[in-house]
């Protein structure tokens, strides 16, 4: 009798476990949002307690299994979106809506920030009538808040087929932290969000500080990605060895304390402590901050003389040239293009992941 009871229990146990697992899956729900570049929309939701998964993908279009290239050509009707799998017992749909609104410019009908075109428009895709009602109430409340001086154009649409994006797009901010941080900064998204939400921007802020040295995990973007990330001048200088106009560039007369990093990879290159007025109209330094991040090679492209070209180690960006007419103690003049650099003010070094250099500027 005891044997039968034990045997029966063993037979029933898998069924009970299967039922428990099914129940744990059943209570999860989906929310789908389009907020422009899905790289930037993933981190804020992943940081929420109760969110199980955030998938980058495409939805709202008329083709099956679209590729990234097809979507960016604006021929499929799809929007770059994220599908959020969440536990409503831990995080409410209203909370997700609140986070969503704080990632976007809901008054822009032509895209989001640096990304333009229909595939970068904003939208909320509802999976139930309850989600639709809450989304509409949330949109109405935001419109009446007076926070924006233009109409809210974000659409609220029924959810349809959602197609996950290619694997390299999933959790891009984790896989490529330096490239992601560079793209996000240059997109103008955070600057806009801080302007709109001020110090109440906690829900859009993310901590991308890494314990690794900037550039250590860098993988150079494709030419197409670089053209998207860089201004025409930045692309011409860093990728084609161009030269920006003297005295008409961003940092030639910058006197603020801080460091200069590669505009593409973020690797530290020069310090304001070694910057001096060369009179040339370009930012000039007596030495690199990190010599290991600098590469030099012979440059015979100028017919008047053979020069020494300076490039960054990880990104291979053309930075400028080094000459032997500088001041003591090195006698060198690293003549750089502002377009190849990004300046990190001393007060932002810790926040931007360059904390190891902060002590250089402590009084």
Tokens 């560039």 correspond to what residue?
Answer: 249
> Which residues are bridge partners to 192 per DSSP?
none
Angle between helices 189-197 and 177-187 (to 10 degrees): 60
Tokens of 336: 């750089």
Per DSSP, the three-state class of 62 is: coil
Given a cut of 70, whether residue 252 has pLDDT beyond it is yes
Higher pLDDT, 86 or 228: 86
Lowest-confidence pick of 118-122, 336-340, 359-363: 359-363
The two beta strands, 115-116 and 268-271, are unpaired
| Measured distance CA(272)–CA(345) in Å, rounded | 9
pLDDT at 183: 80
Mean pLDDT of 280-301: 94
| Measured distance CA(313)–CA(350) in Å, rounded | 23
Given a cut of 80, whether residue 211 has pLDDT beyond it is no
pLDDT at 219: 63
- Cβ atoms of 340 and 243 within 8 Å: the answer is no
Per DSSP, the three-state class of 312 is: strand
- Cβ atoms of 156 and 126 within 8 Å: the answer is yes
Given a cut of 90, whether residue 228 has pLDDT beyond it is no
pLDDT at 92: 94
| Every domain of the chain and the residues it spans | 26-170, 223-361
Residue 330: Cβ-neighbour burial (10 angstroms; 0-12, 13-18, 19+): middle
Residue 81: Cβ-neighbour burial (10 angstroms; 0-12, 13-18, 19+): buried
Q: Provide, rounded to the nearest whole percent, the portion of the chain with pLDDT above 70.
A: 86
| Measured distance CA(65)–CA(277) in Å, rounded | 56
What are phi and psi for residue 139, nearest 5 degrees? -65, -45
- Cβ atoms of 78 and 38 within 8 Å: the answer is no
Supply the residues annotated as catalytic.
37, 335
Return all residues near 358 (Cβ < 8 A) that are at least 6 apart: 346, 349, 350
- Cβ atoms of 289 and 357 within 8 Å: the answer is yes
Per-state percent for the chain, helix, strand, coil, to nearest 5? 35, 20, 40
Kindly report whether the global pTM for this prediction surpasses the value 0.85. Answer: no
Q: 352 pLDDT band (50/70/90 cuts)?
A: confident
Cα 159 to the center of its chain, rounded Å: 26
Mean pLDDT of 322-351: 93
Per-chain mean pLDDT for the chain = 86
| Measured distance CA(233)–CA(121) in Å, rounded | 27
| Measured distance CA(152)–CA(140) in Å, rounded | 9
Tokens of 3: 């044997």
The pLDDT tens digits for 140-180 are 999 998 889 999 999 999 999 999 999 989 998 888 777 78
pLDDT at 182: 75
Q: 5 pLDDT band (50/70/90 cuts)?
A: very low
Higher pLDDT, 205 or 130: 130
Q: 231 pLDDT band (50/70/90 cuts)?
A: very high
> CA distances (Å), 250 to each of 170, 214, 247, 343, in order?
35, 23, 9, 10
pLDDT at 14: 47
Q: Which fold has domain 26-170?
A: 3.30.1060
Q: Which fold has domain 223-361?
A: 2.170.150
The pLDDT tens digits for 10-54 are 444 444 444 444 434 558 999 999 999 999 999 999 989 899 999
Angle between helices 177-187 and 38-46 (to 10 degrees): 110
pLDDT at 303: 77
pLDDT at 279: 96
Tokens of 134: 């809450």
Tokens 């604006």 correspond to what residue?
Answer: 74
């Amino acid at each position: 009798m005891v044997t039968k009871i034990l045997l029966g229990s063993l037979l029933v146990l898998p069924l009970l476990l299967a039922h428990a697992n099914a129940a744990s899956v059943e209570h999860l729900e989906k929310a789908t949002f389009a907020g422009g570049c899905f790289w930037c929309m993933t981190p804020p939701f992943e940081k929420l307690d109760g969110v199980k998964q955030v998938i980058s993908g495409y939805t709202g279009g008329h083709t099956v299994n679209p590729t990234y290239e097809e979507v960016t050509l604006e021929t499929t009707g799809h929007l770059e979106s994220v599908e959020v799998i969440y536990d409503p017992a831990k995080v409410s749909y209203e909370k997700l809506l609140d986070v969503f609104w704080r990632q976007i410019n809901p008054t822009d009908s032509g895209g989001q920030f640096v990304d333009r075109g229909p595939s970068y428009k904003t939208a909320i895709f509802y999976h139930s009538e309850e989600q639709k009602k809450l989304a509409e109430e949330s949109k109405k409340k935001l419109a009446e808040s007076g926070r924006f001086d233009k109409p809210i154009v974000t659409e609220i649409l029924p959810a349809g087929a959602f197609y996950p994006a290619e694997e390299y797009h999933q959790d891009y901010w984790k896989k490529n932290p330096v490239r992601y941080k560079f793209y996000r900064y240059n997109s103008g998204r955070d600057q806009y969000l801080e302007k709109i939400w001020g110090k109440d921007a906690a829900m859009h802020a993310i901590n991308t500080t890494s314990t690794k040295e900037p550039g250590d995990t860098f993988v150079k973007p494709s030419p197409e990605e670089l053209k998207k990330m860089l201004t025409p001048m930045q692309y011409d200088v860093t990728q084609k060895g161009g030269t920006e106009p003297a005295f008409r560039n961003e940092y030639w007369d910058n006197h603020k304390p801080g460091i200069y990093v590669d505009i593409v990879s973020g690797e530290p290159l020069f310090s304001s402590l070694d910057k001096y007025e060369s009179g040339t109209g370009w930012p000039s330094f007596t030495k690199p901050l990190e010599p290991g991040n600098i590469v030099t090679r012979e440059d015979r492209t100028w017919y008047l003389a053979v020069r020494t070209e300076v490039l960054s180690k990880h990104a291979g960006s053309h930075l400028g040239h080094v000459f032997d007419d500088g001041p003591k103690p090195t006698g060198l003049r690293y003549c750089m293009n502002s377009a190849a650099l990004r300046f990190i003010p001393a007060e932002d070094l810790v926040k931007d992941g360059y904390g190891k250099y902060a002590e250089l500027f402590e009084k």
